Structure 1
Amino acid sequence: MPIRVGVIGAGIMGADHIRNLSGTIGGAEVTFVADLDAGRAAAAAPPAARITTEPSELINSSEVDAVVIASQDSTHAGLVLECFEAMTPVLCEKPLAPTLLESREVVAADADIVAATGASLLSLGFMRRFDPGYVALRQSVQGRAQGEPLMVHCTSRNAAAGPGTTAESAITNSAIHELDIIPWLLGSPITEVSWQAGQSSRNAEGGLQDPAFMLLRTADGTLTTLELFLNAQYGYTTRCEVVSERGVTGLMDAALLGVKEDGIRRTAVPADWRPRFADAYRLQLQAWITALGQGGQPPLAGAMDGLHASLVAHAMIRSMHGDGAYTKVSYA
């Protein structure tokens, strides 16, 4: 029997999850979709799926075996805790929660369930851990193919920031990917961070300082730079390059289309992150569904990974409000 999945949130990310679960993921069936906008839920849901504007109705439905949370960041912690009360496996999109207090509450509840049952119900959607490029880069780095890593350079650019984006949410919602992937890549936790900014783009609205430049230092001494530019206009780009003792290893740009015409060679740039990470999302969802179907623990990021990324994010926010001073990350 397929795993019957309920999806909360039918926006860009939720609709993508619904399409994947309905068309490319083996062993899954979307049976319920919840969104505050009933019309949006109906438009994203498969024909036979139920729809609701009440997430609690979905979570507690006998027609749902597992839940995907793709709603607004501020709802994540509360919905995860409801899934825990229903003892329903849940895949929550990043971040775990926008505040440390909520993240700690979820981690404590998760620990109680693990103590009682021996397994966690929570998987967290840090999908870059499933991206073939990042996986290959990690294997190269951890195998020391080019000697010890010395420095990492990351770039994350979007065409335009989402409505209401602030300097803080740019960290907790966008930079959070690098805050998770760098420790995963290097096998070393982030211990110190710094946030810097110079001239801001005229396309940044509401006082958002954009682009921003961030420095991360891991316990092994490796320094990582991150340029986060949410209003780059031209499209979506993500890069990661590891500088090691005997060479450099980095992700290749993923172009959708290459054109040669009138003596000019050009390539198309994705409008957003979905084409670039389509494989990562698909592989992550399949790993989750397969593990649930086999009664095992899904090999995705978990509660502690979410808390650690949140701790680094909030250290970065403290640095931002402290004029870019280096700020220690405390995992206590």
Structure 2
Amino acid sequence: MSELLGVAVLGAGHMGADHIRRIDRAVGGARVAAVADPDTGRAKEAVAGIDGVTVHPEVTAALDAPGVRAVLIASPGPAHEEALLAAFERGLPVLCEKPMVPESAGALRVVEAEARLGRRLVQVGFMRRYDAEYQRLKSLLDSGRLGRPLMLHCTHRNVSSPPDFTTAMLVNSSVSHEIDAARWLLGQELTSVTVLRPRSSSHAPQGLLDPQFVLFETADGALVDVEVFVNSGFGYQVRCEAVCESGSARIGDEHTMVVTAAGSASEAVAQDYLVRFADAYDREVQAWVDATREGRVTGPSAWDGYTASAVAEAGVRAQRTGGRVAVELAPCPELYRDISR
């Protein structure tokens, strides 16, 4: 247990570079042993100053590098399935950023491959489960103090969208976090999706239908609505209010420093998810490292990753048709049936 966990980080972009920094500086019990990225120059820049790291253009070379005992996948979503299956072949535990696999068919293949192994190797990176505010809300709802949850009102706003951001990605990238958070907070599956669209903001790039209003129904009759606005222009905001039979609870109100000067008051608004959820990412990766060193796998499962992709696909169909679309899930393998959300 005294030996540091050698981690191969796949992807050295915005998210991957932040995880490299996190493992090196903020997380105990682990070290970056290898990094894979087709852009080896970017990878070398991300590991500058870190001793003992090898850089590779290919995933398999990083997985086979000396000292690698675990994998953190932070590459683009379409590359995840191949990387996960390669990790399975080597018996390596994995923390995989969301989406686990963007398409539900590919995500189901990962679930089935892990089920054939007969043990869990994957934790999916739904970091909101590790956010202090979300954890307090989860504990409150589980306690029953406010009675049965009836509705969740969610807000998900970004400053601006990347150049390659599509209308479908409002649901299958941005709202995927709310999909997992709602399932986890309520302990219920999402059974249908409806997407409504107001007129697009003038700040949205041409062809991008932004903002949108997404409505989910759950197996136990609760409703979850999400306002997703990825070109708000002013900041990154994530909020959630649970309305229950005997009260409500809201998280996400920025309790930051308020500056009063020149006849006005102002407070900072986070501009990036890596700022808003910095502590959650730290706790998530630390929990993964601790569990992995003990031979355990905890946190969101491959089944949670598959379900999020399946619900998001239903949401994209609802975007296109303008109607209510039912969520269809494959039968849950025995491996995941006893996992408490």
The reply to whether residue 121 of structure 1 matches residue 125 of structure 2 is no
SS of 2:175's equivalent in the other structure is helix
Q: Residue 17 of structure 2 aligns with which residue?
A: 15
Q: Which moved more, 1:141-150 or 1:215-224?
A: 141-150
Q: Residue 52 of structure 1 aligns with which residue?
A: 56
Q: Residue 312 of structure 2 aligns with which residue?
A: 313
SS of 1:167's equivalent in the other structure is coil
Q: Within 5 Å, which residues of 2 pair with 1:320-331?
A: 320-323=319-322, 325-331=323-329
- Inter-partner Cα distance in structure 2 for 1:59 and 1:16: 20
TM-score for the superposition, normalised by structure 2? 0.93
8 Å CA contact 1:254–1:276 kept in 2: the answer is no
Q: Residue type of the partner of 1:327?
A: V
Q: C-alpha offsets along residues 229-272 of structure 1, whole Å, 9 cap, x if unaligned?
A: 00011010000001112221010423554211122111011111
- Inter-partner Cα distance in structure 2 for 1:320 and 1:166: 12
The reply to whether residue 295 of structure 1 matches residue 295 of structure 2 is yes
Q: Residue 106 of structure 2 aligns with which residue?
A: 102
Give ranges in structure 2 of 5+ residues lacking alignment: 331-341
Q: Residue type of the partner of 1:331?
A: L
- Inter-partner Cα distance in structure 1 for 2:280 and 2:143: 22
Q: Within 5 Å, which residues of 2 pair with 1:1-332?
A: 1-45=3-47, 46-48=49-51, 49-114=53-118, 119-297=119-297, 299-323=298-322, 325-332=323-330
8 Å CA contact 1:255–1:270 kept in 2: the answer is no
- Indicate the percent of aligned positions where both proteins have the same amino acid: 40
- Inter-partner Cα distance in structure 2 for 1:188 and 1:165: 30
Q: C-alpha offsets along residues 181-210 of structure 1, whole Å, 9 cap, x if unaligned?
A: 101101111111101101101222241100
SS of 2:180's equivalent in the other structure is helix
Q: Residue type of the partner of 2:4?
A: P
8 Å CA contact 1:164–1:206 kept in 2: the answer is no
TM-score for the superposition, normalised by structure 1? 0.95
Give ranges in structure 1 of 5+ residues lacking alignment: none
8 Å CA contact 2:103–2:310 kept in 1: the answer is no
Q: C-alpha offsets along residues 51-104 of structure 1, whole Å, 9 cap, x if unaligned?
A: 122122101223211111101111111111111112211111000111122111
Q: Which runs of 4+ in 1 moved over 6 A?
A: none
8 Å CA contact 2:154–2:227 kept in 1: the answer is yes
- Inter-partner Cα distance in structure 2 for 1:9 and 1:90: 14
8 Å CA contact 2:242–2:250 kept in 1: the answer is yes
Superposition CA RMSD, Å: 1.2
8 Å CA contact 2:150–2:223 kept in 1: the answer is yes
